[in-house]
Structure 1
Amino acid sequence: MRSQYTSKCQPQIFLICSAHLFHFLELKNLTKLFHSQHKMGWKFISLEPPILYQIPVRTTPPCFRTKAIAFSSNAPNKGGHVSTKLPLSKTNDVYSVSFKTLGACKLGISRYPDFEYNAQGGTGTGTGSKVADSDELSVSFDVKTLYIPPLTSSTTKFLGLPLPPFLKIHIVPQLFQGNIDQESGKVDLEFLAKFCFSVGSIYEAPPLVVKTVLTSDESKGKMRSGRGERLDEEGNCKLVGVAFVEPIDDVFMNTFLSLPTECLAKLNAVITLSKSS
């Protein structure tokens, strides 16, 4: 009876022992793995033979080349090399400008008849520069060189009679600049000046400030107006300008001239242009 029971249990005992042996071997391998991790720092050990891979390593760093790009074109017909340059926005043309006043000019203020004014002998010099793709010159006169004859008994008449010998009106330019179109002959010059009235050594009024644009075309205000003439081939022109005159700190002049009011200038002049070398 005992031998029969033993023979029936032998296969089961063998299976149980085999299972325990398998678990024992697994625990042993895990123990080796943990020991290896402790010594080598989380390095997994495989029981399979290692497969080696060769990783390519670049020994020298890549070289990046910089290439200069030149804008140029070949001329196949001439066989030459033509460089291309960007056009400049402005030219380097510089001009010398000369200004001269002539006779037969007129000045008027308020509703009084115009004064006949002989401005012969007035002069001024300046410079001008030309902008690319334009016929206009931007000119500026040096006010230190600008001289306009004063209104005196020898230069001015009112109602056909010369001014009284003791009355003088000096013109002191402050600004004279603007544009001249060489193609059309049009002239627009901003003019700023002080008009100083004096009667001998007895009386001298505060200066009247006059600001206008002397133009070769039409200038028109509420009371006064005039039309000029453009430059001809010899540089002759007629410039006109209407200005608004503010009151000054002088009761007599404000009353006599009806300030505030308008004034008008008609100047015959010669403007010459020469290109600087």
Structure 2
Amino acid sequence: MECQIHPSGPQLTCRTSPRHKPNYSSSSLVLPKSRIHKTTVVASQKNLDRQQPIPAPQLTESKVPRRDVYNIKFETLASCKLGISVYPDFEYNAERGSGSGMGTNRNTDSNESDGDIFVDFDLNTLYIPPLTTATTRFMGLPLPPFLRIDIAPEILRGSINQETGKVELEFKASFWFSVGKLYRAPPLLVGTVLTSEESEGTIRSGRGERLNGGGRCRLVGVAMVQPIDDFFMNSFLGLPTECFAELNAIISVSTK
């Protein structure tokens, strides 16, 4: 093959040999068999990985902590006590007081429970009788007919251990003092832990009793009562001061 270029300057001549002509025919585009085989194997392995994902490890049933659910019933009894400041205790008959709640416990990995049941009582079902002339005596005499102390629970929750009988219940309530229709004081807010063990303050103390086989127990608690917006009550009771509660009760536990 020969070509000539005719510019305005000297002529140039170029030649190419047929032997060096590039061959772009399809027969020359052949890959080695080993490379084709390798590419095919890799693509197949990727498809296999997408179709068969590795499952995540799962806990066996023996390693999953088990949660048990219980029905809890609370009933207050007679021969209870309530006291405030340095005054003698009120002798208080709390019969017909009651409440119900739901309890749970979480067993350990070995499916063995420590015995504690965590309970939260439903405030809609919780009732504690008021202190009246029919339920309460002070220094051996019934309360005057016109004097009344209503108890409005706000919290009752905690732990119950059926194995040891130990009870620890957080208790909060408002105590409303009234004298007929003539006088009604702002509520006294009381918060304590009712326990089957010992509760001790600065001027008040008491010891409870753990659950027996029939579910009976005695719970005690000492709390600090802060002043309220009422000069008469603050002066009469000497607020701030301690108050004391002792409740005889039956706590029943059953599985749901």
Residue of structure 2 aligned with 1:240, choices 212, 220, 228:
220
Q: Match for 1:164 among 131, 136, 144? A: 144
The 3 A distance-change label for structure 1 pair 32 and 238 is farther
- Counterpart CA distance in 1 for 2:187 and 2:244 is 17
Distance 1:69 1:203, change over 3 A: closer
For 2:60 and 2:161, the matched residues in 1 are separated by 31
Residue of structure 2 equivalent to 1:88? 64
Residue 195 of structure 1 aligns with which residue?
175
Q: Tell me whether 1:124 sits opposite 2:71 in the alignment.
A: no
In structure 2, how many angstroms separate the alpha carbons of the residues matched to 1:149 and 1:240?
17
Query: Could you say which structure has the greater relative contact order, defined with CA pairs below 8 angstroms and 6 or more residues apart?
Result: 2
| Gap runs ≥5 in structure 1 | 1-30, 34-38, 41-52, 73-82
Change (3 A) 1:138 1:251: same
**8 Å CA contact 1:71, 1:84 repeated in 2:** no
Cα offsets for 1:124-166 (capped at 9, x unmatched): 0111001103210000100111000000011111110111100
The Cα shift of 1:88 comes to 1.5
Aligned residue runs from structure 1 range 56-205, under 5 A: 56-59=34-37, 60-62=40-42, 63-64=44-45, 65-66=48-49, 68=54, 84-85=60-61, 87-89=63-65, 91-132=66-107, 133-205=113-185
Percentage of identical aligned residues: 55
User: C-alpha separation between the residues in 2 aligned to 1:88 and 1:173?
Assistant: 37
Structure 1 length-normalised TM: 0.74
Amino acid at match of 1:87: K
Residues 61 and 224 of structure 1, relative CA distance in 2, 3 Å threshold = same
- Once the two structures are TM-superposed, the CA of residue 61 in structure 1 deviates from its matched residue by 4.6
1:172 is displaced (CA, Å) by 0.3
Instruction: Provide Cα deviations, 1:97-144, integer angstroms capped at 9, x if missing partner.
Output: 000000000001000011100101101011100110321000010011
What stretches of structure 1 move > 4 A for 4+ residues in a row? 66-72
For 2:206, the aligned partner's letter is G
Q: SS of the residue aligned with 1:148?
A: coil
Change (3 A) 1:58 1:253: same
Gaps (5+ residues) in structure 2? 1-13, 23-30, 108-112
Give the CA deviation at 1:58: 2.1
**1:69, CA displacement in angstroms?**
6.2
SS in structure 1 opposite 2:223?
strand
AA at the equivalent of 1:56: S
Provide the alpha-carbon RMSD of the alignment: 2.6
